[in-house]
């Protein structure tokens, strides 16, 4: 279960509360506010607060009062213009706060995006839950021969090899958590295990836990930096375990700022960037010529990436 009983009760209470406000609210996002979207085997992501909407982006761009123009098409055109020309500050006027439960190795990737406010569950103060990420068999793949920082796409281990990997992961998790409790001389409820023995501090005992144990944090970010995070982490080359979080968050952005989401998909998520030499190759192809790798001045990897983007064999 991704949520424990206390968290489920907290969400139920939050969902039951109603507040009056003069601030802009977004009904589509209010529908899922506080609700957790389950991810992986024990993880989740949920929106717990937000500020601003599409109109706030327009207002910031025009430095006007109220909600800007009353014509949605004009607002849509402006937001698309801002996104297309990389005018980022109006998007920074919108902020959103997520509560995320994720494996520590995913958190270590995530925290590389240093443009958010983060507060993480403290294993110095509290005892870590006995929850570890164990991948499905379909996600157990060998190392890629081309991508030195990822798994081989579309290739999996044999059933016997996968079963052995899962056995190792489960046994290691159970052993490490057992030793974690033994080091503290306490179980996850804080009960003493042996009255005749003194445990070590939680801040020391935690060092024995592996990177697939789950942690939680609150992550608050403005829309511009959120879109940058999503552009990288929802990419097909991103690691699967962080990509599932990014995909879920894109759906939340669509509810929150649908026009900005539309522009984001058009000019960021499903677009491509060309270097000067890459653009020269495209111009040559449009004119009817078929430039070669050698005359393009691109490296083999750049050439291969460009051909992939254009849907052509390298």
Q: Give catalytic residue positions.
A: 233
Angle between helices 223-233 and 240-256 (to 10 degrees): 140
Sheet containing 117-120: order of strands: 37-39, 43-51, 95-103, 214-222, 117-120
Burial of 220 (0-12, 13-18, 19+ CB in 10 A): middle
| Structure tokens given for 211 | 């990177």
Whole-angstrom distance, CA of residue 282 vs CA of residue 274: 9
Whole-angstrom distance, CA of residue 250 vs CA of residue 314: 31
| 8-state DSSP, 233 | H
| Structure tokens given for 207 | 């060092």
Across-strand partners of 36? none
Pairing state between β 95-103 and 117-120 = unpaired
């Amino acid at each position: 279960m991704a949520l424990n009983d206390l968290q489920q009760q907290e969400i139920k209470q939050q969902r039951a509360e109603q507040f009056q406000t003069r601030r802009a609210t977004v009904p589509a996002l209010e529908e899922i506010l506080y609700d957790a979207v389950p991810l992986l085997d024990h993880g989740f992501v949920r929106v717990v607060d937000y500020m601003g909407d599409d109109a706030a982006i327009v207002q910031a761009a025009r430095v006007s009062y109220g909600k800007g123009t009353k014509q949605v098409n004009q607002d849509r055109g402006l937001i698309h213009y801002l996104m297309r020309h990389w005018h980022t500050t109006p998007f920074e006027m919108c902020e959103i706060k997520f509560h995320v439960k994720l494996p520590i190795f995913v958190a270590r990737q995530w925290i590389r995006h240093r443009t958010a406010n983060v507060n993480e569950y403290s294993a110095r103060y509290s005892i870590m839950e006995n929850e570890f990420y164990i991948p499905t068999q379909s996600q157990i793949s060998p190392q890629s021969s081309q991508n030195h920082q990822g798994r081989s796409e579309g290739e999996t281990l044999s059933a016997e090899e996968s079963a052995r990997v899962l056995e190792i992961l489960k046994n290691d998790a159970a052993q490490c958590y057992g030793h974690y409790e033994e080091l503290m001389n306490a179980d996850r409820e804080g009960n003493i295990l042996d009255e005749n023995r003194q445990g070590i501090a939680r801040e020391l005992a935690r060092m024995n836990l592996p990177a697939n144990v789950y942690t939680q944090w609150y992550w608050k970010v403005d829309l511009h930096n959120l879109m940058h995070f999503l552009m990288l982490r929802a990419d097909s080359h991103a690691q699967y375990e962080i990509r599932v979080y990014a995909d879920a968050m894109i759906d939340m952005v669509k509810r929150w700022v649908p026009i900005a989401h539309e522009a984001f998909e058009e000019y960021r998520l499903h677009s491509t960037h060309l270097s000067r030499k890459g653009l020269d190759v495209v111009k040559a192809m449009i004119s009817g010529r078929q430039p070669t790798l050698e005359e393009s001045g691109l490296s083999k990897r750049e050439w291969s990436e460009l051909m992939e983007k254009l849907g052509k064999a390298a």
